[in-house]
Amino acid sequence: MKRIAVMLSLLVIFGMLLGACATPTPQTIVETVEVPVMQTQIVEQTKVVMETQVVEVTPEAAPGMELPREETLYFNGQQWDPVKCWNPYSTDCNNAMALAAGDNSRVTMFETAYLYDMLDGGMYPLLADGDFQWNDAETQITFKIKPAAHWSDGTPVTADDFAYTWDTYIKYNTNAGNNYKPYVDSVVAADPSTVVVKAVLGDNGMALNPLMVKAYLSSTYVAQKAWTQTLEARTGEDATAFLADESLDVVYSGPYHNFYNDESKVILIRDDAYWGQDASMWGQLPAPKYLAHMIYRDNAAGSAALFGGEVDVSQQFNSNIQMMWLNYGLPISTYLPEAPYMIGGTLPTAYYNMNSYGLDNVAIRKAIALAVDYPTIIANAMTNQSATFDQVPRSLMNPTEGEQALYDHAAVADLQWAGNDIEGATKMLDEAGVVDTNGDGWREYNGETLHYVATCPNGWSDWQAAMEVVAAAGAKIGIDITTNYPEWGVYQTIVTKSDEPLPEGYDIFMMWTDGPGPTQPWGRIRHLLSSEFVGQTVNWNGNWGQYSNPEVDDLIAQIPSETDPAKLKEIYTELVRIYLTDVPSFSLMYRPQVFHTVNETIWTGFPHQDDGTNPPVPPMDCTDGWGVACLYNLTLVSAAQ
């Protein structure tokens, strides 16, 4: 008996060692397998609380199939957990490869009327046919639908689909509906191929906010009316059930759809009948047959896969990315060949809690901001994947050329700071009477020692590194700043509760700002400075430090309907001046809207600076907004050789 046990153990060990001697899965294509299309539908009544029907559609993955490497474009950094659903009305599907409507909508499976290009600020037609038109009274936008535009079931995309999608957004309180309801009155079909988007009107009888009406065209998906009605019938028109539906049977208009997904990966497959191959749109199918995304647990695992050639497009922070080509000679590159490597899109920002003791004093706020060592943050937290504040002076704009041109740099030059100005900060505090009177090394304000806590969510390592630098700056100017990192679940609950002052421990805290988009920089400025969000019970919009300035509110309100570029520049410059003077918050670095690193071992033709594309294809991971054009420019490296 013992011998048998020993023999079995040895066999197990031997088996494992044998397995260990294997080489990794080869990268070359062994064979191309035809995929039989098998679609079965099982409709079954469920007994869950919401009394819904579950519709299961078996994916058309062939058993044992190996994805041909030269037909597959691999991603990382978009999908971090398993997919939950395929419902274009939901914003909680955790389905990053297919669903991400917004300023730069992801248009792999579902489509928008227009595509936004963050590089030139243009909106280019996708489902729409030609440019959209405002009427003379500026109360509505009209656009046509391309005759070629079709759904995956072969039926044409109609204006009725657009109208019904809007009605559904409103009926079920979807994210898009809630977001645009204050600005878009209705979407109607003038005829089967003409869509009219009517604006909510302001006191002057014109669109209350033309920017938001325009943004609706590129920021929201259109869903098929017939399928939406099927979904409504299935969920009994219950809003929660409607938004939580898995929607495996969804009808889509985009070039890809669900092929396979599990705990480890998500794979989309190209629809070879995709309408976009018509000459009126792309004139061809996208090059990769499959879009695949392994679910990596962290950035390190994703970086290792990029290094090993298992990832073609990387939307994650890869520390010291330049080492991949400088030290290892790999065919890996970023949009810009030199630092900062990426196009900055957002401004990770430290907000002051305006209700914390002493932080109502602008000298204290500005002194801390002056003393922070931004180059260290950018070098350490971002490994130089951010422009410095010497290169792009701080403002309310992101570093793209379009936004930078919107304000007068010279007019606010004397208010600028690039960091590490201990002398200036100390002088400012001394002049404001914030000095150390009791000799304990820390300054007092009206007799009370200044002590602050700088915080951000635990595990957000680049933000934590930035907060440590802020704390170090405090020590240099005699203000005691300690750090604390609560879990995200706790942090977000507290920070987004704006109907009361933030509690202790949230004196200086980090949050994000808007990225590039058709409503920017107005949207970003509004979210940074507008007092309309103070008092909201659940505030996911911004101004979390609860800054309030009626002059700023008035300027923000003027922007959407202002069409005179000179006047706009004046308003933006004034807002930047107030921002740099009042310092209700301060940016710590620039961060790309999406990280965009590519490995050109298999595919080439990705967007790079000055690549000659016109309109310029933005580095949006080949999936977002006009960035999706990248999929049609890709070619195989092997074919080029």
Which residues, 276 to 295, sit near other proteins by CB under 8 A? 292, 294-295
Token pair listed for 429: 């505090």
| Residues whose CB is less than 8 angstroms from the CB of residue 604 and which lie 6 or more positions away in sequence, other chains included | 634, 635, 636, 637, 640
| Residues whose CB is less than 8 angstroms from the CB of residue 298 and which lie 6 or more positions away in sequence, other chains included | none
Rg of the chain over Cα atoms, rounded to whole angstroms, equals 27
Please provide residue 281's backbone torsions phi and psi, each rounded to the nearest 5 degrees. Answer: -120, -100
* CA–CA gap between residue 143 and residue 606 (Å, rounded): 31
Q: Which residue is associated with the tokens 């949230």?
A: 506
337 part of the interface to other proteins, by CB under 8 A: no
Candidate ranges 279-287, 301-309, 364-372, 612-620; the one touching other proteins (CB under 8 A): 301-309
296 part of the interface to other proteins, by CB under 8 A: yes
305 part of the interface to other proteins, by CB under 8 A: yes
Neighbours of 23 (CB within 10 A): 5
Report in angstroms how near the CB of residue 85 gets to other proteins at its nearest. 7
Candidate ranges 240-248, 383-391, 427-435, 475-483; the one touching other proteins (CB under 8 A): 240-248
- Compare residues 264 and 438 and give the one whose CB is closer to other proteins: 264
- Compare residues 145 and 292 and give the one whose CB is closer to other proteins: 292
- Compare residues 137 and 300 and give the one whose CB is closer to other proteins: 300
Q: Which of 311, 312, 254, 309 is nearest to 286 (CA)?
A: 254
Among 53, 57, 66, 637, binds other proteins (CB under 8 A): 66
Token pair listed for 351: 């907000």
| Cis ω before 340 (30° cut-off from 0) | yes
92 part of the interface to other proteins, by CB under 8 A: yes
Q: What are the angstrom distances between the C-alpha of 524 and each of 168, 345, 465, 514?
A: 28, 11, 24, 5
Q: What are the angstrom distances between the C-alpha of 241 and each of 81, 101, 516?
A: 22, 20, 33
Neighbours of 542 (CB within 10 A): 25
45 part of the interface to other proteins, by CB under 8 A: no
Report in angstroms how near the CB of residue 86 gets to other proteins at its nearest. 12
Report in angstroms how near the CB of residue 517 gets to other proteins at its nearest. 9
Q: Are strands 290-294 and 265-270 parallel, antiparallel or unpaired?
A: antiparallel
- Compare residues 301 and 415 and give the one whose CB is closer to other proteins: 301
Reported in sequence order, the residue ranges of 456-589 that DSSP labels E, i.e. its strands, are: 480-484, 508-511, 585-587
For the window 443-482, what string marks contact with other proteins as x by the rule CB under 8 A? ----------------x-----------------------
First to last CA, the chain: 62
Count residues binding other proteins (CB under 8 A): 81
Helical segments of 442-549, H only: 461-476, 488-495, 522-529
- Compare residues 66 and 436 and give the one whose CB is closer to other proteins: 66
Candidate ranges 139-147, 170-178, 409-417, 552-560; the one touching other proteins (CB under 8 A): 170-178
Structural element, H or E, at residue 179:
helix 175-180
* CA–CA gap between residue 270 and residue 516 (Å, rounded): 28
Neighbours of 504 (CB within 10 A): 10
For the window 181-210, what string marks contact with other proteins as x by the rule CB under 8 A? xx----------------------------
64 part of the interface to other proteins, by CB under 8 A: yes
260 part of the interface to other proteins, by CB under 8 A: yes
Candidate ranges 87-95, 151-159, 221-229, 436-444; the one touching other proteins (CB under 8 A): 87-95
Among 195, 196, 213, 267, binds other proteins (CB under 8 A): 267
Report in angstroms how near the CB of residue 203 gets to other proteins at its nearest. 20
Candidate ranges 24-32, 115-123, 396-404, 409-417; the one touching other proteins (CB under 8 A): 24-32
Candidate ranges 241-249, 357-365, 375-383, 438-446; the one touching other proteins (CB under 8 A): 241-249
- Compare residues 170 and 568 and give the one whose CB is closer to other proteins: 170
14 part of the interface to other proteins, by CB under 8 A: no
Among 175, 319, 384, 561, binds other proteins (CB under 8 A): 175
Please provide residue 550's backbone torsions phi and psi, each rounded to the nearest 5 degrees. Answer: -55, -35
265 part of the interface to other proteins, by CB under 8 A: yes
* CA–CA gap between residue 571 and residue 568 (Å, rounded): 5
For the window 358-397, what string marks contact with other proteins as x by the rule CB under 8 A? ----------------------------------------
For the window 521-560, what string marks contact with other proteins as x by the rule CB under 8 A? ------------x--xxxxxx-------------------
Residues 527/351, Cβ–Cβ less than 8 Å: no
Q: Which residue is associated with the tokens 């929201």?
A: 220
Token pair listed for 78: 């978009």
Among 131, 191, 262, 440, binds other proteins (CB under 8 A): 262
